[in-house]
Amino acid sequence: MLSTKSNNTFADATSSTFNVNTEQIRSYYNSGATKNYTFRIQQLRKLKNAILENEKDILEALHTDLKKNAAEAYFTEIGLTLAEINKMLKCLRRWMRPRKVKTNLFNFPSKSYLLHDPLGVVFIIAPWNYPFQLCLLPLAGAIAAGNCAVIKPSELSSATATIIEKIIRYAFPENYVTIVQGDGATVVPQLMKSFRFDHVFYTGSIEVGKNIYQMAAQNLIPVTLELGGKSPCIVEADANLKIAAKRIALGKFTNAGQTCIAPDYLLVHESVREKFLQIFTETIQHMYSADASTNEDYGKIINWKRFGRLMSFLKQGEVIYGGRYNADTLYISPTVITNVDVNASIMNEEIFGPVLPVFSFTTIDEARQIILKNPDPLAFYLFTNSKDKEKQWMDIAFGGGCINNTALHFTNGHLPFGGVRNSGAGRYHGKYSFETFSHAKSILKTPTWFDPSIKYPPYEGKLKWLKKLFGY
């Protein structure tokens, strides 16, 4: 049974279960208090200050959950969240203004514009791999757009979930933004059955994403689905191999490979395969040292279940680098494997760990066949110096990606982030978050000084003029 806590102080913010009083949240939203610009700015500032005040504890929690190095945790979690909030503080006034759009000739002399309304009470469900920012970065968007929110961090990253709870309870009254903790498979359906949210923003696996989509469909609740997938990384024959090696190693082995947009597997042009693998393995060793288990810059696997799954992948090819592990510390070293069967299970599901299969290709078509076995990846990466190759590769369907880089498209708040088809629906970050958490209301405003009779019956003799108005 969920219990209640209401004191708005850090000292009291340690309860692990909550009574989410959704009716209270609904009535606070209905009061209109969250809608004005000043209120939204104040709340964004409160969130920012609570994060700044708790920076040390957040870093500690991320270390406890995933052994994240402080520098990595700062740039992939805290820094990104603060940058998002700062962008909203800077741009919100402009985003909230009515947005003028053109008006067609048929409606002359009307004017047209969009008004951005909040969606209402939104539900944000987050995963464990970037447990801080994947919870609070969407929350910043929800606040900026004038919503109330319930957030659900992952139970698997419990230290971070605790500090998030502390921040939320300190910064916000619980009838405005509140948090629900616990086993997602129990708590989420329970909440979604008992309350009609106005939007669900879900980040996590495809499998659970489908459940969320179904539950939301019962009440026609719109959803944003930020899912996963197998993101390919291509190294063309003309690529700068040293740069490719560094950037691929960073994208793959940050957070011990537990990144939704990590390169899942490599496709290296046959003509540079040997050279690339040599540079790549030297680069990994340089970045994470010969024994990554003692390296403070290298993370751990989240839990025993995921560890076991990743161990089974190690047996599905020839390990040419790494392959070491320690079950006691949930450690799996950065690992490169070759001679993998494209039909093996490692190639049928997202790896989501530090194991990187490498394939070679000679023609784009050959590589495409491998990619199409897992269509619509969340990300796609291409290393090449050729504009022609760029054009050839860019017509593959994927959520977003990089040319001559990996993963960092996520860190540019000017770019929308999201998947396509299998890898998700909807997008966010910066202005796109504001739009995701808003309803753009279309308004046509028509003056009364002009009211041509052509639109009104009787229509006799008007068809040819109406056709002209439509350009025919």
**Residue of 135, 233, 260, 402 marked active site:** 260
Shortest distance, position 361 Cβ to ligand NAD, whole Å:
24
The residue range among 65-73, 91-99, 182-190, 277-285 that interacts with ligand NAD, by the rule CB under 6 A, is 182-190
List the catalytic residue out of 226, 236, 350, 435: 226
Q: Which stretch binds ligand NAD (CB under 6 A): 207-215, 274-282, 291-299, 444-452?
A: 207-215
Tell me if 208 contacts ligand NAD by CB under 6 A.
yes
Binding-site member from 118, 141, 146, 228 for ligand NAD (CB under 6 A): 228
In the bound state with ligand NAD, the residue whose beta carbon lies nearer, of 67 and 246, is 67
Please give the residues from 364 up to 403 whose contact with ligand NAD meets the rule CB under 6 A. 378
What φ, ψ does residue 146 adopt, rounded to 5°? Answer: 90, 20
Q: Which three-class secondary structure string do you get for the chain? A: CCCCCCCCCHHHCCCCCCCCCHHHHHHHHHCCCCCCHHHHHHHHHHHHHHHHHCHHHHHHHHHHHHCCCHHHHHHHHHHHHHHHHHHHHHHHHHHHCCEEECCCHHHCCCEEEEEEEECCEEEEECCCCCCCHHHHHHHHHHHHCCCEEEEECCCCCHHHHHHHHHHHHHHCCCCCEEECCCCHHHHHHHHHHHCCCCEEEEECCHHHHHHHHHHHHHCCCCEEEECCCCCEEEECCCCCHHHHHHHHHHHHHHHHHCCCCCCCEEEEEHHHHHHHHHHHHHHHHHHHCCCHHHCCCCCCCCCHHHHHHHHHHHCCCEEEECCCEEHHHCEECCEEEECCCCCCHHHCCCCCCCEEEEEEECCHHHHHHHHCCCCCCCEEEEECCCHHHHHHHCCCCCCEEEECCCCHHHHCCCCCECCCHHHEECCECCHHHHHHCEEEEEEEECCCCCCCHHHCCCCCCCHHHHHHHCCC
Among 25, 44, 58, 134, binds ligand NAD (CB under 6 A): 134
Q: Minimum distance from CB of 428 to ligand NAD (Å)?
A: 9
Examine the residue annotation and report whether 233 is marked as an active-site residue of this protein.
Answer: no
Choice from 26, 40, 87, 152 touching ligand NAD (CB under 6 A): 152
- Cis peptide preceding 447, ω within 30 of 0: no
Among 126, 179, 244, 355, which residue sits at the site for ligand NAD (rule: CB under 6 A)? 126
When the beta carbons of 104 and 186 are compared against ligand NAD, the nearer one is 186
List the one residue from 28, 120, 124, 127 that touches ligand NAD (CB under 6 A): 127
Looking at 72-80, 97-105, 138-146, 204-212, which segment touches ligand NAD (CB under 6 A)? 204-212
| C-beta of 59 vs 378, nearer to ligand NAD | 378
Closer of 129 and 283 to ligand NAD (Cβ): 129
Instruction: Give the residues across from 226 on adjacent strands.
Output: 203, 424
* Stretch 72-111 residues interacting with ligand NAD (CB under 6 A): none
Least spacing, CB of residue 7 vs ligand NAD, in Å:
25
Choose which of 54, 69, 203, 436 interacts with ligand NAD (CB under 6 A): 203
148 counts as catalytic = no
Q: Is residue 120 involved in binding ligand NAD (CB under 6 A)?
A: no
CB of 271 to ligand NAD, least distance (A): 32
Q: Which is nearer to ligand NAD, 240 or 405 (CB)?
A: 405
- If one asks whether residue 252 binds ligand NAD (CB under 6 A), the answer comes out as no
Sorted by sequence, the CB contacts under 8 Å of residue 245 that are 6+ apart come out as: 276, 279, 280, 282, 283
Kindly report the length of the chain.
Answer: 472
Q: Which is nearer to ligand NAD, 211 or 405 (CB)?
A: 211
Q: Binding pattern to ligand NAD, positions 339-368, x when CB under 6 A?
A: -----------x-x----------------
What is d(CA 281, CA 4) in angstroms, rounded to the nearest whole number?
53
Q: Does 188 bind ligand NAD (CB under 6 A)?
A: yes
* Near ligand NAD by CB under 6 A: residue from 129, 147, 255, 433: 129
Residues marked as catalytic: 226, 260
Residues that bind ligand NAD (CB under 6 A): 125-129, 134, 152, 154-155, 184-185, 188-189, 203-205, 208, 211-212, 226-228, 260, 350, 352, 378, 419, 424
